Amino acid sequence: MNNDNEELKPLSFDENEDGLMPMSFGTGEEAMVDSIPLVKTATNEIKNRDSNFVFFFGNPQSGKSVILSSMLYHLSSQAGVLRPKIGTPNSHEAQTLLYDFYENIRQGILPERTTVGKVLELDLVFEPNNKSKKVMPINLTFLEASGEDLRAIKRGGNFNSHISKYLSSNVPLTFIIVTSYDTADKDDALINEFLDELERKGKNLRPINLILVISKWDKSGRMEVESEEELDNFINDNLRRTSQRINAYELSKTFYTIGNVETAGGSQRVTLLSLDTAGILSNWLYNSITGFDINYEGTFLERLKWSLFN
Protein backbone atom coordinates (compact mmCIF):
# COMPACT_ATOMS: atom_id res chain seq x y z
CA MET A 1 0.00 0.00 0.00
CA ASN A 2 1.27 3.41 -0.84
CA ASN A 3 2.24 5.27 2.34
CA ASP A 4 3.09 8.62 0.74
CA ASN A 5 1.63 11.57 2.60
CA GLU A 6 -0.60 12.58 -0.31
CA GLU A 7 -4.28 13.11 -0.96
CA LEU A 8 -6.12 9.82 -1.28
CA LYS A 9 -6.28 8.56 -4.87
CA PRO A 10 -8.61 5.64 -5.57
CA LEU A 11 -6.09 3.71 -7.65
CA SER A 12 -4.94 0.11 -7.64
CA PHE A 13 -2.76 -0.92 -4.72
CA ASP A 14 1.01 -1.06 -4.88
CA GLU A 15 2.12 -4.64 -4.37
CA ASN A 16 5.07 -3.80 -2.16
CA GLU A 17 6.41 -5.55 0.90
CA ASP A 18 4.30 -3.37 3.20
CA GLY A 19 1.04 -4.60 1.67
CA LEU A 20 -1.38 -6.60 3.78
CA MET A 21 -1.53 -10.31 3.05
CA PRO A 22 -4.96 -11.91 2.63
CA MET A 23 -6.21 -14.13 5.44
CA SER A 24 -7.86 -17.47 4.72
CA PHE A 25 -10.90 -18.57 6.72
CA GLY A 26 -12.02 -22.00 7.75
CA THR A 27 -15.60 -23.23 7.58
CA GLY A 28 -16.80 -22.81 11.17
CA GLU A 29 -20.52 -22.77 11.96
CA GLU A 30 -22.22 -19.47 11.19
CA ALA A 31 -23.18 -17.31 14.16
CA MET A 32 -26.25 -15.10 14.00
CA VAL A 33 -25.60 -11.81 15.81
CA ASP A 34 -28.40 -9.26 16.06
CA SER A 35 -27.68 -5.56 16.10
CA ILE A 36 -27.64 -4.36 19.70
CA PRO A 37 -30.18 -1.64 20.53
CA LEU A 38 -28.20 1.24 21.98
CA VAL A 39 -29.11 3.91 24.49
CA LYS A 40 -31.23 6.72 23.04
CA THR A 41 -29.33 9.96 22.63
CA ALA A 42 -30.97 13.38 22.95
CA THR A 43 -29.98 16.25 20.65
CA ASN A 44 -28.49 18.31 23.50
CA GLU A 45 -26.31 15.32 24.47
CA ILE A 46 -24.99 15.15 20.90
CA LYS A 47 -24.01 18.84 20.97
CA ASN A 48 -22.00 18.32 24.15
CA ARG A 49 -20.18 15.23 22.84
CA ASP A 50 -16.45 15.62 22.27
CA SER A 51 -16.16 13.40 19.21
CA ASN A 52 -15.89 13.21 15.44
CA PHE A 53 -19.13 11.76 14.02
CA VAL A 54 -18.99 9.46 10.99
CA PHE A 55 -22.35 8.98 9.24
CA PHE A 56 -22.90 6.13 6.77
CA PHE A 57 -25.53 6.58 4.06
CA GLY A 58 -26.75 4.00 1.55
CA ASN A 59 -29.62 1.83 0.38
CA PRO A 60 -30.40 -1.52 2.03
CA GLN A 61 -27.71 -4.12 1.32
CA SER A 62 -25.34 -1.56 -0.15
CA GLY A 63 -22.55 -2.78 2.14
CA LYS A 64 -22.53 -0.17 4.92
CA SER A 65 -22.27 -2.68 7.78
CA VAL A 66 -19.54 -4.66 6.01
CA ILE A 67 -17.51 -1.49 5.42
CA LEU A 68 -17.92 -0.39 9.04
CA SER A 69 -16.94 -3.76 10.53
CA SER A 70 -13.91 -4.19 8.24
CA MET A 71 -12.73 -0.64 8.96
CA LEU A 72 -12.95 -1.30 12.69
CA TYR A 73 -11.08 -4.57 12.22
CA HIS A 74 -8.33 -2.81 10.26
CA LEU A 75 -7.99 0.05 12.75
CA SER A 76 -7.65 -2.37 15.67
CA SER A 77 -5.52 -5.09 14.02
CA GLN A 78 -3.24 -3.08 11.72
CA ALA A 79 -3.28 0.64 12.52
CA GLY A 80 -3.47 0.94 16.31
CA VAL A 81 -5.76 0.43 19.30
CA LEU A 82 -9.52 0.90 19.10
CA ARG A 83 -11.55 0.85 22.29
CA PRO A 84 -14.92 2.06 23.60
CA LYS A 85 -14.83 5.56 25.02
CA ILE A 86 -15.18 5.44 28.79
CA GLY A 87 -18.10 7.38 30.25
CA THR A 88 -20.37 7.25 27.20
CA PRO A 89 -23.91 5.84 27.57
CA ASN A 90 -23.23 2.91 25.26
CA SER A 91 -19.69 1.89 26.27
CA HIS A 92 -20.74 -1.60 27.41
CA GLU A 93 -22.87 -2.22 24.31
CA ALA A 94 -20.03 -0.92 22.12
CA GLN A 95 -17.62 -3.40 23.69
CA THR A 96 -20.04 -6.25 23.01
CA LEU A 97 -20.64 -5.15 19.45
CA LEU A 98 -16.91 -4.77 18.73
CA TYR A 99 -16.34 -8.31 19.95
CA ASP A 100 -19.07 -9.63 17.66
CA PHE A 101 -17.71 -7.66 14.69
CA TYR A 102 -14.18 -9.00 15.21
CA GLU A 103 -15.24 -12.60 15.76
CA ASN A 104 -17.53 -12.61 12.75
CA ILE A 105 -15.04 -11.11 10.33
CA ARG A 106 -12.33 -13.46 11.64
CA GLN A 107 -14.59 -16.39 10.75
CA GLY A 108 -15.63 -14.90 7.43
CA ILE A 109 -19.19 -14.13 8.56
CA LEU A 110 -20.74 -10.96 7.18
CA PRO A 111 -22.44 -8.66 9.73
CA GLU A 112 -26.20 -8.63 10.17
CA ARG A 113 -28.25 -5.78 8.73
CA THR A 114 -28.84 -2.77 10.97
CA THR A 115 -32.11 -2.77 12.93
CA VAL A 116 -34.88 -0.65 11.43
CA GLY A 117 -35.90 2.31 13.60
CA LYS A 118 -32.56 2.64 15.40
CA VAL A 119 -29.18 4.24 14.79
CA LEU A 120 -26.20 2.06 15.53
CA GLU A 121 -23.95 4.38 17.54
CA LEU A 122 -20.40 3.44 18.48
CA ASP A 123 -18.38 5.88 20.65
CA LEU A 124 -14.75 4.84 20.30
CA VAL A 125 -11.21 6.07 20.89
CA PHE A 126 -8.61 5.34 18.22
CA GLU A 127 -4.94 5.42 19.28
CA PRO A 128 -2.61 5.07 16.26
CA ASN A 129 0.53 2.94 16.40
CA ASN A 130 2.45 5.83 14.86
CA LYS A 131 5.01 7.23 17.32
CA SER A 132 4.90 10.79 16.00
CA LYS A 133 3.39 13.34 18.38
CA LYS A 134 1.51 14.83 15.43
CA VAL A 135 -0.46 11.60 14.92
CA MET A 136 -2.74 12.00 17.92
CA PRO A 137 -5.48 9.75 19.34
CA ILE A 138 -8.96 10.79 18.23
CA ASN A 139 -12.53 10.19 19.39
CA LEU A 140 -14.79 8.62 16.78
CA THR A 141 -18.56 8.12 16.85
CA PHE A 142 -19.70 5.84 14.05
CA LEU A 143 -23.36 6.18 13.06
CA GLU A 144 -25.22 3.68 10.92
CA ALA A 145 -28.96 3.52 10.24
CA SER A 146 -30.85 0.91 8.25
CA GLY A 147 -31.17 1.49 4.52
CA GLU A 148 -34.93 1.25 4.91
CA ASP A 149 -34.91 4.25 7.29
CA LEU A 150 -32.53 6.21 5.07
CA ARG A 151 -34.89 5.77 2.11
CA ALA A 152 -37.42 7.96 3.98
CA ILE A 153 -36.14 11.02 2.07
CA LYS A 154 -37.11 9.46 -1.24
CA ARG A 155 -39.28 11.79 -3.36
CA GLY A 156 -38.91 14.72 -0.96
CA GLY A 157 -39.63 12.86 2.28
CA ASN A 158 -38.07 13.52 5.69
CA PHE A 159 -35.88 11.51 8.00
CA ASN A 160 -37.37 10.34 11.27
CA SER A 161 -36.11 12.05 14.43
CA HIS A 162 -33.69 9.26 15.35
CA ILE A 163 -31.69 10.18 12.22
CA SER A 164 -32.41 13.90 11.70
CA LYS A 165 -31.17 14.84 15.20
CA TYR A 166 -27.61 14.00 14.13
CA LEU A 167 -27.82 15.94 10.87
CA SER A 168 -29.31 18.96 12.66
CA SER A 169 -26.65 19.05 15.38
CA ASN A 170 -23.66 21.36 15.18
CA VAL A 171 -21.01 18.67 15.55
CA PRO A 172 -18.11 17.56 13.31
CA LEU A 173 -19.71 15.22 10.75
CA THR A 174 -18.03 13.11 8.10
CA PHE A 175 -20.23 11.36 5.52
CA ILE A 176 -19.43 8.03 3.91
CA ILE A 177 -21.91 7.51 1.05
CA VAL A 178 -22.06 3.87 -0.04
CA THR A 179 -23.42 2.39 -3.25
CA SER A 180 -22.83 -1.11 -4.55
CA TYR A 181 -21.10 -1.99 -7.82
CA ASP A 182 -24.16 -3.93 -8.97
CA THR A 183 -26.85 -1.41 -7.94
CA ALA A 184 -25.19 1.99 -8.42
CA ASP A 185 -27.42 2.96 -11.33
CA LYS A 186 -30.50 2.52 -9.10
CA ASP A 187 -29.01 4.58 -6.24
CA ASP A 188 -28.25 7.77 -8.17
CA ALA A 189 -31.50 9.60 -7.38
CA LEU A 190 -31.49 8.73 -3.65
CA ILE A 191 -27.88 9.85 -3.21
CA ASN A 192 -28.73 13.20 -4.81
CA GLU A 193 -31.72 13.65 -2.52
CA PHE A 194 -29.42 13.04 0.45
CA LEU A 195 -26.93 15.63 -0.82
CA ASP A 196 -29.83 18.07 -1.24
CA GLU A 197 -30.90 17.35 2.35
CA LEU A 198 -27.39 18.05 3.66
CA GLU A 199 -27.29 21.38 1.89
CA ARG A 200 -30.74 22.30 3.22
CA LYS A 201 -29.40 21.66 6.71
CA GLY A 202 -26.45 23.96 6.08
CA LYS A 203 -23.81 21.26 5.72
CA ASN A 204 -20.88 22.46 3.64
CA LEU A 205 -19.94 19.67 1.22
CA ARG A 206 -16.16 19.53 1.06
CA PRO A 207 -13.60 16.93 -0.07
CA ILE A 208 -12.46 16.46 3.52
CA ASN A 209 -15.82 15.54 5.01
CA LEU A 210 -17.59 13.48 2.33
CA ILE A 211 -16.53 10.48 0.28
CA LEU A 212 -18.39 8.31 -2.23
CA VAL A 213 -17.59 4.60 -1.87
CA ILE A 214 -18.37 2.03 -4.59
CA SER A 215 -18.68 -1.17 -2.54
CA LYS A 216 -18.56 -4.82 -3.66
CA TRP A 217 -16.01 -4.02 -6.36
CA ASP A 218 -15.12 -7.73 -6.38
CA LYS A 219 -18.35 -8.23 -8.36
CA SER A 220 -16.51 -6.67 -11.29
CA GLY A 221 -14.37 -9.80 -11.35
CA ARG A 222 -11.34 -7.98 -9.90
CA MET A 223 -10.20 -6.70 -6.50
CA GLU A 224 -8.84 -3.38 -7.75
CA VAL A 225 -9.21 -0.69 -10.39
CA GLU A 226 -6.58 -0.29 -13.05
CA SER A 227 -6.61 3.50 -12.97
CA GLU A 228 -8.45 6.48 -11.54
CA GLU A 229 -10.02 6.90 -14.97
CA GLU A 230 -11.71 3.49 -14.67
CA LEU A 231 -13.39 4.51 -11.42
CA ASP A 232 -14.38 7.90 -12.87
CA ASN A 233 -15.91 6.21 -15.92
CA PHE A 234 -17.92 3.85 -13.72
CA ILE A 235 -19.30 6.74 -11.68
CA ASN A 236 -20.04 8.83 -14.78
CA ASP A 237 -21.88 5.94 -16.47
CA ASN A 238 -23.86 4.66 -13.47
CA LEU A 239 -24.25 7.71 -11.20
CA ARG A 240 -24.70 10.51 -13.70
CA ARG A 241 -26.27 13.09 -11.39
CA THR A 242 -24.03 12.17 -8.46
CA SER A 243 -20.95 12.48 -10.65
CA GLN A 244 -21.91 16.10 -11.40
CA ARG A 245 -21.90 16.86 -7.65
CA ILE A 246 -18.66 14.94 -7.11
CA ASN A 247 -16.93 16.86 -9.91
CA ALA A 248 -18.39 20.28 -9.01
CA TYR A 249 -17.34 20.07 -5.34
CA GLU A 250 -14.21 17.99 -6.04
CA LEU A 251 -15.40 15.42 -3.51
CA SER A 252 -13.45 12.28 -2.68
CA LYS A 253 -14.29 8.87 -4.14
CA THR A 254 -12.96 5.34 -3.89
CA PHE A 255 -13.89 1.69 -4.33
CA TYR A 256 -14.21 -1.03 -1.71
CA THR A 257 -14.01 -4.80 -1.36
CA ILE A 258 -13.36 -7.13 1.55
CA GLY A 259 -12.11 -9.91 -0.71
CA ASN A 260 -13.64 -13.05 -2.10
CA VAL A 261 -17.26 -13.63 -1.05
CA GLU A 262 -19.04 -16.91 -1.83
CA THR A 263 -22.69 -17.82 -1.50
CA ALA A 264 -23.68 -21.27 -0.23
CA GLY A 265 -26.97 -22.48 1.21
CA GLY A 266 -28.53 -19.04 0.92
CA SER A 267 -25.85 -17.32 3.04
CA GLN A 268 -22.68 -15.45 2.13
CA ARG A 269 -19.22 -16.04 3.58
CA VAL A 270 -15.85 -14.37 3.08
CA THR A 271 -13.40 -17.06 1.97
CA LEU A 272 -10.41 -14.77 1.41
CA LEU A 273 -10.17 -11.50 3.32
CA SER A 274 -8.49 -8.34 2.03
CA LEU A 275 -8.18 -5.26 4.24
CA ASP A 276 -6.46 -3.10 1.63
CA THR A 277 -9.46 -0.89 0.87
CA ALA A 278 -10.36 -0.79 4.56
CA GLY A 279 -6.90 0.66 5.13
CA ILE A 280 -7.31 3.30 2.41
CA LEU A 281 -10.72 4.43 3.68
CA SER A 282 -9.55 4.43 7.32
CA ASN A 283 -6.53 6.51 6.41
CA TRP A 284 -8.72 8.96 4.46
CA LEU A 285 -10.99 9.28 7.51
CA TYR A 286 -8.12 9.96 9.93
CA ASN A 287 -6.49 12.40 7.51
CA SER A 288 -9.78 14.24 6.91
CA ILE A 289 -10.16 14.79 10.67
CA THR A 290 -6.58 15.52 11.73
CA GLY A 291 -4.82 16.67 8.57
CA PHE A 292 -2.17 13.97 9.04
CA ASP A 293 -1.65 10.56 7.48
CA ILE A 294 -1.83 7.60 9.86
CA ASN A 295 1.53 6.56 8.40
CA TYR A 296 3.11 10.02 8.77
CA GLU A 297 6.88 9.47 9.00
CA GLY A 298 7.46 12.12 11.66
CA THR A 299 9.59 15.23 11.84
CA PHE A 300 13.34 15.08 11.23
CA LEU A 301 14.02 15.18 14.99
CA GLU A 302 11.50 12.42 15.63
CA ARG A 303 13.02 10.20 12.94
CA LEU A 304 16.48 10.85 14.36
CA LYS A 305 15.32 9.93 17.85
CA TRP A 306 13.66 6.73 16.66
CA SER A 307 16.82 5.68 14.76
CA LEU A 308 18.94 6.20 17.87
CA PHE A 309 16.74 4.20 20.24
CA ASN A 310 15.62 1.39 17.92
All domains of the chain in start order, with CATH: 50-309 (3.40.50.300)
* 254 alpha-carbon distance from chain centroid: 11
Q: Tell me how far apart the alpha carbons of residues 181 and 187 are, in angstroms, rounded to a whole number.
A: 10
Which pLDDT belongs to residue 45? Answer: 59
Confidence of residue 298 (pLDDT cuts 50, 70, 90): low
pTM attached to this predicted model: 0.80
Percentage of the chain exceeding pLDDT 70: 80
Which is more confidently placed, 255 or 50? 255
* pLDDT mean over 116-121: 83
Q: What are 37-64's pLDDT values in tens digits?
A: 333 445 455 655 689 999 999 999 899 9
- Judge contact between 268 and 109, C-beta under 8 A: no
Q: What are 209-233's pLDDT values in tens digits?
A: 999 999 999 999 999 998 899 999 9
pLDDT at 27 over 50: no
- Judge contact between 80 and 128, C-beta under 8 A: yes
Sign, CA dihedral 79-83-88-94, equals positive
SS (H, E, C) the chain: CCCCCCCCCCCCCCCCCCCCCCEECCCCCCCCCCCCCCCCCCHHHHHCCCCEEEEEECCCCCCHHHHHHHHHHHHHHHHEEEEECCCCCCHHHHHHHHHHHHHHHHHCECCCCCCCCCEEEEEEEEEECCCCCCCCCEEEEEEEECHHHHHHHHHHCCCCHHHHHHHHCCCCEEEEEEEECCCHHHHHHHHHHHHHHHHHCCCCCCCCCEEEEEECHHHHCCCCCCCHHHHHHHHHHHCHHHHHHHHHHCCEEEECCCEEEEEECCEEEEEEECCHHHHHHHHHHHHHHHCCCCCCCCCHHHHHHHHHHC
Beta-carbon contacts of residue 276 (< 8 Å; ≥ 6 apart): 1, 13, 19, 20, 223, 224
User: In the beta sheet, which residues pair with residue 119?
Assistant: 145
Confidence of residue 102 (pLDDT cuts 50, 70, 90): confident
Mean pLDDT of the chain: 80
Which is more confidently placed, 88 or 231? 231
Percentage of the chain exceeding pLDDT 90: 42
pLDDT at 12 over 70: no
Q: Tell me how far apart the alpha carbons of residues 217 and 224 are, in angstroms, rounded to a whole number.
A: 7
- Nearest of 268, 266, 257 to residue 107 by alpha carbon: 268
Beta-carbon contacts of residue 197 (< 8 Å; ≥ 6 apart): 153, 159, 167
